Amino acid sequence: MNSKVLTVEHLNVAVEDRTLIKDLSFSVNRGVLTCVTGENGVGKTTLVKALLKCKRHPTKQVHFLVRPDQIQYVPQFRNIDDDYPLKIKDFVSLSLQNSFLPWLTKSEKNRIQKVLEMTNLNEIKNEPLGRASGGQKQRAYLAQALVTNPELLILDETTASLDKESRVYLLQVVVDIIKRTGAAVMFITHDQELINRFGDYNLEIADHRGVMHKIERSDA
């Protein structure tokens, strides 16, 4: 199960000629939660953006071992206001809009239903997304990413705006998805409690360097 989905070797990450991270090497395995941590501004999001740029064009430094369409990124911020009218199930299905047919096939509908159940949104799937709570919205973003069956899921501070109970609940959903699907998850976070409780590996960025280490779990 622990086969690699991504290898990074001797990568430098920069913005506008300013080097944020030097000589970074790490790999990401299937079936585990890899946390990406570090102080504000060390370059976590910039790193992920640099990686995603290489998903269709591998370089010597960044090599994905999964297809570009098997990689999903859930960004830190979305503009979903209270009036956003789309039902949760329709929002989740937006990921499939690029498919060949203008309507959903039976297997796509089944897939959406399964993902709504995996993310515990089934009971509110007909509610407008704009009315959902912060935690429910985050689960809808997660569900939208999951519909395409990703092998690698990158979550950028998904839990940052949530209260403690919703943060723990969301991570429980993520860990359950990892167990069921064997996907690899990279999770950018500042939340030490979630890292200790749910993380398998921590890519810690500090002083322009990144070091990966295994996490000793405080709870499972």
Ligand X SMILES: Nc1ncnc2c1ncn2[C@@H]1O[C@H](COP(=O)(O)OP(=O)(O)OP(=O)(O)O)[C@@H](O)[C@H]1O
Residues that bind ligand X in the complex, under the rule CB under 6 A: 15-16, 20, 38, 40-46
Q: Give the count of beta carbons closer than 10 Å to the beta carbon of residue 195.
A: 22
Length of the chain: 220
DSSP, res 98: T
User: Which CB atom, from 36 or from 145, has the smaller least distance to ligand X?
Assistant: 36
Smallest gap, in angstroms, from Cβ of residue 20 to ligand X? 6
Smallest gap, in angstroms, from Cβ of residue 27 to ligand X? 20
User: Which CB atom, from 170 or from 188, has the smaller least distance to ligand X?
Assistant: 188
Q: Give the count of beta carbons closer than 10 Å to the beta carbon of residue 104.
A: 16
Half-sphere exposure of 97 (CA within 13 A, CB side): 8
DSSP, res 39: S
DSSP, res 26: E
User: Which CB atom, from 95 or from 189, has the smaller least distance to ligand X?
Assistant: 189
Smallest gap, in angstroms, from Cβ of residue 210 to ligand X? 11
Smallest gap, in angstroms, from Cβ of residue 76 to ligand X? 7
User: Which CB atom, from 92 or from 171, has the smaller least distance to ligand X?
Assistant: 171
Q: 114: burial class by Cβ within 10 Å (0-12, 13-18, 19+)? A: middle
Smallest gap, in angstroms, from Cβ of residue 43 to ligand X? 4
Smallest gap, in angstroms, from Cβ of residue 29 to ligand X? 22
User: Which CB atom, from 41 or from 102, has the smaller least distance to ligand X?
Assistant: 41
Distance CA 23, CA 10 (A): 4
The continuous run of DSSP H or E covering 14 comes out as strand 4-15
User: Which CB atom, from 38 or from 135, has the smaller least distance to ligand X?
Assistant: 38
Distances (CA, A) of 49 to 75, 165, 208: 10, 29, 17
